[in-house]
Amino acid sequence: EIVLTQSPGTLSLSPGERATLSCRASQSVSRGYLAWYQQEPGQAPRLLIYGASSRATGIPDRFSGSGSGTDFTLTISRLEPEDFAVYYCQQYGSSPGTFGQGTKVEIK
Amino acid sequence: QVQLQESGPGLVKPSETLSLTCAVSGYSISSGYFWGWIRQPPGKGLEWIGSIYHGGRTHYNPSLKSRVTMSVDTSKDQFSLRLTSVTAADSAVYYCATDPTGLDYFDSWGQGTLVTVSS
């Protein structure tokens, strides 16, 4: 199965700053089938990005995804207070679909 | 807007069977779509358990395949998960979710239900 490694483990930033989160796969993700989710404490994950770069319905345009092959990035252009959360990547190009271990974006 | 709600016992004894149901509202299961289960041990990451498609075809994580059964009840607009021979390692928050394309990514999630395996 494909192992996804997210970095950094924790990102300490201030509101208004830019966040760049990385997701690296142990082998190429077929057809760019990579998704990003946001999870706030005690809440279910929320789909942000699918197909590496397509925003899900209702997701603000400050969230953007990019990448292909084994290297993918989630960028939050200007952090809002509600963006401080844990972010997971998931590949669904090969079965079984697998998730990264998460990156926590915390307030500096 | 599809809404999902998990239900089932919060405590299961080791070696017994975990059974959960996901009630779907705002959408008729018989109309199509795809449905999945994902779990998250406390303080840990996410694990895809499996998916079921409106025609009843299932697709399970190989690591759990020997113990998992999923089913759909279109008359009640709900789908279910059974996990047999549970151990403490199966303690987790279990989420049901919708898969918009059958590709195993998930765009709507239930709130999750915590299941603890303990005697």
pLDDT in tens, B17-51: 999 999 999 988 888 789 999 999 999 999 999 99
Average pLDDT of the residues in B69-93 = 96
* Contact flag B107-A99 (C-beta cutoff 8 Å): no
Residues 6+ apart with CB under 8 A from B28: B74, B77
pLDDT tens-digit readout, A38-74: 999 999 999 999 999 999 999 999 999 999 999 999 9
Per residue in B89-115, pLDDT tens?
999 999 999 998 889 999 999 999 999
Can you give the C-alpha Rg of chain B in angstroms?
13
**pLDDT value, residue B115:** 98
Using a 10 angstrom Cβ sphere, with 0-12 exposed, 13-18 middle and 19 or more buried, the burial of residue B43 is exposed
Cα angle: B114, vertex B62, A94; to 5 degrees: 105
Q: Residue A88 — pLDDT band, cuts 50, 70, 90? A: very high
B37: which strand partners?
B50, B96
Closest approach of A66 to chain B, Cα-based (Å): 17
Query: Can you tell me the distance from the alpha carbon of A72 to that of A93, in angstroms, rounded to the nearest whole number?
Result: 14
Contact A84, A91 (CB under 8 A): no
Which of B5, B96, B104 to probe the A interface (max A CBs under 10 A)? B104
Is A50 an 8 Å CB contact of chain B?
Answer: yes
Q: Do B109 and A97 touch (CB under 8 A)?
A: no
